[in-house]
Structure 1
């Protein structure tokens, strides 16, 4: 039986500026297959610019054949970018996470949440005159919320924010989105967690 993987998110999951093979969900599935797991290519529901509510609306329009064996979620950077409140993010992220658990057959242990990377360290942000320290601080608040909610339902949390901060030059040509090389580092961080999840 081939295991099924659903990846939910925004530009970071669709891999803005990189080839399809460079997207982190695609890299993750490929790495797991190389280890002998019968995991299919991910079904990715993600578009550059989506906020939590926009992802939720897209999911409502999409025929999703639950249960999935693995569901990943990475969402929220565009909420922060648009200046939305942390309280609103908590409410909408909680609903999104509950939906992800349902799509995993009510198995929270099959849901993998990645933290939001810090776009404030990118050359795009530095060259735009934005307050990069404020961006980082706001994303820290968002990520604390996402981590709290993830652990509340006993899903799995992988922090890749430090990777984004430690590799600010691993970017696509737009100077904003990660390169395939940075996504490979995210994949490396997520791999042991995903392996353990699917081995249960």
Structure 2
């Protein structure tokens, strides 16, 4: 899962990014509102699954970024991560559209759990095990089962299934899926993506992943 971390403190930002990487998250770390605003404008192409947002930034307020994001109609999950613990600050953050509000410092294990929780809610899932198109997808164990049998998938194959499941019933464009598999490098080439999808159909069933010609793929629906 790929995250955007907006945090101006050098030590804390590095610590958060390192801790999340150890728990399977990739991230882009930005330290000012201007850069975060530019990155959020390309949120879909950047394949961001969740934003971790500090409120006090050197060149502006994180709350303004959140307000702008929601005004554009974006449902991108946002977790406010701040030292501001006053009730009115928490109310302002949640009323502006934050999905969660955490007070620094926060334990990495709890932060990882909160990230998984808000991304599940946005995807319409209530637990870490998702039931989609006849599949049981365990996002904690990173495994897929069919009728109780674990299906052997490569890490990239699991990432494809999980990303499609996060958008279950909706068409996920090829460029967005390709970018989600390599968020910090060059996107996966389409022909390589097609090979992975072909292998997944062989393992999961030919009708599990449907191609929408000229657009992308859909899991279920």
Structure-1-length-normalised TM-score? 0.46
Answer 1 or 2: which has greater strand percent: 2
Structure-2-length-normalised TM-score? 0.42
Structure possessing the higher relative contact order (Cα contacts under 8 Å, 6 or more residues apart):
1
Answer 1 or 2: which has greater helix percent: 1
